[in-house]
Amino acid sequence: MFILSKTRKYLLYSNIKTRSAISLLAFMPLFTIALSPIAMPKSNAEGQPSKVRVFCDGKTYEIGTDNDTVHQAIEKTQCVLQENDVSEPSLNEGIRSKALDIYVYRATPVVVIDGKDVRTVSSGYRDPKDILSSMGIKLYSGDFIKSDVPLPNFNESNPRRVITIDRMPEITIVIDGKKKVFRSRGERVGDVLTEAKISLDSNDKVSPTIGTYAHNGQKVVIVRMNKTRRVVNAIIPFRTIVKKNYNMFQGQSRVIRSGSTGMIQRKYYVITKGGRVIKREAISNKVIRRPHNAVVVQGVKPYSHGDLWNLMVQAGKKYGVNPADMYSVMMCESGGGVFAQNSGGYKGLFQWDSTFYYWTSVAGVPANYFSPKSQIYATAARVGSTGWSAWSCQP
């Protein structure tokens, strides 16, 4: 107020020129300070210290505080916080109301039984879930908590609280090699599978059986046995029938008839076990369209030895011998030389020995080693009767 008064007098009584008004700007910070509210301790919305009651160890402490947190308010009393003590509201919560009651809960021994895991801790929390959360113990849907249950034969110093966790049994279900962990209180394996919404077919294999009592840590293996009906249309390939033509030269061919594929409808069951095919059972096979075979004529006549070839064709027809085979053996034995002979006494086109005389008589031709007709007919007669075993060259 003093600053405002001085400023007012300055404006009224001083002979201020136009340029002197500029110096007035120097006083603006003073106006800002004068018009700003005086800084007060942070307490509540109305700026007044809060009235706080602290309830600790059966005593009540009444204080006024302008501190920001519950913890700071408690420190102004004779209530000395110990490790794991808990307050309500929480220690870090700010005080923003005109009046506040603070309750301090002393940490006491707590025994927590989680299956085979038994732990003793000190905690000031009252809610069992808060105690377990502070210990880092996770609860799952379906888990039950039993609090203040006496613990027989426990030698620790008089625990005031016992918390027992009744876990929902955890069961591992394996379906065709794929694992799934499920929690259930079903009495038997079948009940667990029903809760898990796992349906079974009459052919499925379950181990252990659905009537087995369920328990924590159990492993249930399901092997799916599926039988699926299938219908498939398959192509029937056509064959190519090759006919030899003794009047066409080697390398020449002619298509007498083109081939076409057929189609067959196959009906069968596919049986799978654990996702793997183990068996196929035929139901029926029906030919929808029959295939038509192709017919091709190929020439086998050599480009040389035309007269000899004609004799081989005639003799081959008479005794059922392929003239192409005869020609191949002849070229191997003598190179087609009518007068060929070697040091072993073998003579002629097919290098006959003394048995030549017998087979010429069978064929009804002259016994002349160097007669092409006698060589060819005697050979055809013998091969038609006993095969090519007498010759070292084979067709």
How many domains is the chain partitioned into structurally? 6
Q: Report pLDDT for 374.
A: 96
Give yes or no: residues 98 and 112 share one domain: no
Note whether residue 327 is domain-resident: yes
Name the residue among 293, 320, 307 with its Cα closest to residue 373. 307
Give yes or no: residues 320 and 332 share one domain: yes
Give yes or no: residues 100 and 112 share one domain: no
pLDDT band at 36 (very low <50, low <70, confident <90, very high): very low
Give yes or no: residues 151 and 212 share one domain: no
Q: Report pLDDT for 49.
A: 79
**Looking at residue 337, which CATH number applies to its domain?**
1.10.530.10
pLDDT 10s digits, 209-254: 999 999 989 999 999 888 899 999 999 999 999 998 888 888 899 9
Assigned token pair, 72: 């700071």
Please provide the average confidence, as pLDDT, over all residues in the chain: 84
pLDDT 10s digits, 243-294: 988 888 888 999 999 999 999 999 999 998 888 898 899 999 999 999 999 9
Q: Report pLDDT for 225.
A: 85
How many Å is the Cα radius of gyration of the chain?
57
Q: Final residue of a domain: which of 150, 166, 182?
A: 166
pLDDT 10s digits, 41-97: 444 555 677 899 999 999 999 998 876 799 998 999 999 999 999 999 999 998 888
Q: Final residue of a domain: which of 138, 166, 194?
A: 166
Q: Final residue of a domain: which of 105, 130, 152?
A: 105
DSSP state of 48: P
Note whether residue 391 is domain-resident: no
Q: CB–CB of 324/299 below 8 Å? A: no
Note whether residue 314 is domain-resident: yes
Note whether residue 211 is domain-resident: yes
Q: Where in the sequence is the domain holding 208, given as residue range(s)?
A: 172-223
Give yes or no: residues 252 and 308 share one domain: no
pLDDT band at 22 (very low <50, low <70, confident <90, very high): very low
Give yes or no: residues 286 and 315 share one domain: no
Q: Report pLDDT for 319.
A: 96
- CA distances in angstroms from 285 to 127, 145, 203, 239, 293, listed in the order given: 73, 65, 26, 20, 21
Q: What percent of the chain has pLDDT over 70?
A: 85
Q: Report pLDDT for 392.
A: 92
Give yes or no: residues 315 and 382 share one domain: yes
Note whether residue 42 is domain-resident: no
Give yes or no: residues 284 and 349 share one domain: no
pLDDT 10s digits, 92-115: 998 888 899 999 999 989 999 998
Note whether residue 161 is domain-resident: yes
Note whether residue 392 is domain-resident: no
> Element (H or E) spanning 356, and its range?
helix 356-363
Note whether residue 394 is domain-resident: no
Assigned token pair, 43: 């307490």
Strand partners, 59: 56
**Looking at residue 263, which CATH number applies to its domain?**
2.20.230.10
Assigned token pair, 382: 């013998």
Q: Torsions phi, psi of 343, nearest 5?
A: -70, -15
